[in-house]
Structure 1
Amino acid sequence: MTQFGFQLYSLRDVDDSLPAVLDRVGATPFAGVEFAGLDDADPAALATTLADADLSCAGMHVGLDAIEADPEGVAATARELGCRDVVVPWLDPEHFASVTAVEAAADRLTAAADALASHDIRVHYHNHDQEFVELDGRPALTHLIEAADGVGLELDVGWAGAAGQDPLAYLSAHADRISLVHLKDYDAASGETVTVGTGDLPLARTVDAVSEHGVEWLIYEAEDGADSYETLEHAAAVVDDHA
């Protein structure tokens, strides 16, 4: 059964501490959160806050350099938070400039996945729009998925749509590699992401599709409005309407 998660990057500019933000998310219908850094908070204390707020850890965004530098430390933090999934949130466009560059990035991701696999932690890659540049007639992201053995894809449907893809078709084509999906909307004409429910993403069909494909977490993320809890309120309303 697919659960709804909330990416904490969506509230990155709120003045409250991370534990206070977790408490606010816990008062909504979301079942879990995805971390985008811990703001120097103690992982053990955050684990207690998660439990008190009746939230699970849907994932952690961690830079590839950080995983490479200290996989044991990343694994220890993930274990403390009860997190099974670590997501590399970004690679610069230069990594998708050629098939050779993509294959080099895939090698690094595969090595990171191997380093965390012994800790029963899965590594995923989260796309933006630069990964959909065409290389040899196919999106660079497709080359990456094929070359990055043992690495999952956290498909951001908003960025996929903004890049000119049919996000649900891409989900269907690569569902065997996708257990996490970012719920984000897009305006196809401008090539930009927008607030969920205001763009071209077929929201109800998206919720149905992730469930049909056995996606574990559908994770709401907002690019804008990160300085206000109105973002969380809107996200909670989306969950209420589609859970």
Structure 2
Amino acid sequence: MTQLGFQLYSLHAVDDPLPAVVERVGETPFDGVEFAGLGDASVDELNAALDAAGLHAAGAHVGLEDLEADPAGVARTYRDLGCEAIVVPWLDPEHFASVEAATAAGERLSAAADGLAADGLELHYHNHDQEFADLDGGPAIDVLLDAADGVGYQVDLGWVGAAGYDPLAVLDRYADRVDLVHLKDYDAAAGETVEVGEGDLDVAAAVDAVRHADVDWLVYEAEDRPDSYATLDAAAGVVDADW
């Protein structure tokens, strides 16, 4: 059964400490949170906040360089928070400039996944739009994932649409590798992401597709107004209406 998550990066500029932000998410319909760094908070403080809020850890975004530098430390930290999924959230466009570059990036991800697997964690990759650069007549994401053995794919629906592709078709194509999906909207004409419900994404159809694919977590993410709880309130309204 698919659960609803909220990506904490959406509120990364709020003045409150992260445990307080987590507890605020607990006042909404979300079932869990996806971490994007822990700030100054300790694992114990965050576990207490998760317990108080009745939330689970949907996963955590961790840069590939950080993961490669200290795989055991990353695994220990997030395993102690109850995370089962680590997500690499970004690779620079240079990694998608050629088949060779995308293949090398995929091999790095695969090696990182092997290291996490020894600690019982899974690695996933989250797309933006650079992964859809054309390489030999197809999107670079295909090359990356072909080389990234053992790595799951966190489909960001908004960035797929902003890149000019059909988000639900991409979800269907890689359904066997998708346990996490980012719910985000897009303006196709502008090639940009927008707040959910304000763009070209058929939100109800997206929710149905995610449920049909039996994805573990549908995670709401916003890139605007990261300093305001209005972002969280808007997210809660969307999931109340469409879930």
Q: Could you state the TM-score of these two structures normalised by the residue count of structure 2?
A: 0.99
Shift of residue 103 of structure 1? 0.7
Q: Which residue of the partner structure matches residue 171 of structure 1?
A: 171
DSSP-derived class of the 1:123 partner:
strand
Q: Which residue of the partner structure matches residue 231 of structure 1?
A: 231
Residue 25 in structure 1 maps to residue 25 in structure 2: yes
Shift of residue 69 of structure 1? 0.5
- 1:28-74 deviations in Å (ceiling 9; x for gaps): 00000000000021112211210111000001000000110000000
Shift of residue 145 of structure 1? 1.1
Q: Which residue of the partner structure matches residue 54 of structure 1?
A: 54
Q: Which residue of the partner structure matches residue 181 of structure 2?
A: 181
Question: Residues of 1 paired with 2:105 and 2:147: CA distance?
Answer: 9
Residue 147 in structure 1 maps to residue 147 in structure 2: yes
Q: How does 1:196-235 map to 2 (within 5 A)?
A: 196-235=196-235
Aligned AA (2:192):
E
Question: Residues of 2 paired with 1:151 and 1:40: CA distance?
Answer: 29
DSSP-derived class of the 1:90 partner:
coil
Q: Which residue of the partner structure matches residue 158 of structure 2?
A: 158
Q: Which residue of the partner structure matches residue 103 of structure 2?
A: 103
Report how many residues are paired: 243
Question: Which runs of no fewer than 5 residues in structure 2 stay unpaired?
Answer: none
Q: How does 1:126-141 map to 2 (within 5 A)?
A: 126-141=126-141
Query: Could you tell me the percent identity over the aligned residues?
Result: 64
Question: Residues of 2 paired with 1:48 and 1:102: CA distance?
Answer: 40
Aligned AA (2:39):
D
Question: Residues of 1 paired with 2:109 and 2:231: CA distance?
Answer: 32
Q: How does 1:86-97 map to 2 (within 5 A)?
A: 86-97=86-97
DSSP-derived class of the 2:225 partner:
coil
Residue 113 in structure 1 maps to residue 110 in structure 2: no
Question: Which runs of no fewer than 5 residues in structure 1 stay unpaired?
Answer: none
Aligned AA (2:231):
T
Q: Could you state the TM-score of these two structures normalised by the residue count of structure 1?
A: 0.99
- 1:143-166 deviations in Å (ceiling 9; x for gaps): 111110000010000000000000
Question: Residues of 1 paired with 2:15 and 2:87: CA distance?
Answer: 25
Task: Point out 4+ residue stretches in structure 1 off by more than 4 angstroms.
Answer: none
DSSP-derived class of the 1:16 partner:
coil
Aligned AA (1:43):
V
